[in-house]
Structure 1
């Protein structure tokens, strides 16, 4: 079946439908990872967005359900150059096509993903539509431009608290703004007793829970939209508890300190972004997925100092807060699939809470 990708700037790409036969309007971004498409599909940070994969062949190892980073996919649509109809992997449970049908996600293949990526890179991430209907462009352009990613954090967060890990280790409250599973897993692997809590959890519930530390997770959307969450984070800051934050959590912490964020032209989405630790000058390869960034000129030098920077474009990738036991990073140290260079940062969080309990 023919399918069409229509971008809000008027570009139309004709390809072949796969996955669910469904029309969807969303924001379009590109991802430069060569593997890990299951993790991409199930990363809640993509809520409200469709993903264009720059690597040409996708689906060749099928879908191992153990690789999911959440209970179900969150992407709105999926764009690939060539879909592998048959997967070859002893761990796979089903084909990518069947997985997308089962989860009601539309896809389009057989399009020039290199050309689409160049458009997004040059003009910025933009809205678009995946459809099997042939439209007159004038019919849909205004509708595409009107789309906005909103309310996605509440959609991605858990409804009730749940626990992961061992009783007896450090008690960690993990705020779920759209948390990837591997964040809780990395903490549990270090002996932590993790309680994953909904994004709407008031600070008072955390402070009454006698936790040793707090982790603010990744998540989707515009951080400045999360005004109620930011107010609760301010109360957590005042408590002087150890806090580590990732991606959206990193941005929310900055906003809670009075810094500002801005939307990037096309964002960072991929498993190959170099970041530099400004203390050691060592460069790490990181996995990233964000459209917003902290404005460097908004950072109050009396409150925080830059910890990491992106080697490619010099954007802020991490902050250390002065006179507070708080560290934050924009990238994903829990990356799975992805580079593992920076998962030592979970050990840093353990040190912030007092060091190994096994020592």
Structure 2
């Protein structure tokens, strides 16, 4: 087994085998989702069943799900499993109405933690590393998502939470932190506080930075890398799809691998709702393939991106998406 992969068989499987796995998981997902009040009604009208899905491309026969559906059927209208078997929920802030709520079983949380561990391993972190998470905890998924992923990896995990830059710096110096998760703007601010404290930010034990959750350019990434003396890797996630761990850059830093064993990916024209060719920008649509409490089918993320053509030198066969370019609802 190669030491470059967390799960080599899944990360490097042929496209044919990957599609076979997706079809198997998609049929199971549709069967589970049909137990949710929302999907039971949506599937009943056109007579949708798992038997109607003969190939992964047949997913186009299924209706889209969007944020308005989740808010209208708040809080548990899209829950397919028995809520008595749920162990955690996360939600959005809901500043403009009902929040979107995602309910997880233990299986869902285990799968999510494993995906985040896979991502962290992909960028070079190991169980010998010290991983500091400067993300907010609570309902926001960035805190617990990275926490449980880093623990699954076996790293010594520092749940520093957001803010308090002087304390963050003390933790980095005292605990010899090697991996850090921070939003891009805070990473820049942290480097500035290092300098204000008379500490060279490139002289620490930090080697790896995970950034995401807010728009940033490649020029900003390079600035952060230079300021902190690290390699910075872009990540993508959203609470409706668990949180962090949906897509992540590898060591190549050329697009984010989106884990197709757990998500089915579509890029559509937001006006016509038809698929766009590989390489063209469109709206990202995702279907969960390994969630049993609250699967989501053809969820319109409203995020604009594109699938990057060609194979990745890292050997992983899962598609790469470009950094998020904006929103289709702006």
Tell me the TM-score normalised to structure 2 length.
0.32
Higher relative contact order (CA closer than 8 Å, sequence separation 6+): 2
* Higher normalized strand content (fraction of residues): 1
Q: Which has the higher helix share?
A: 2
Relative to the length of structure 1, the TM-score reads 0.30
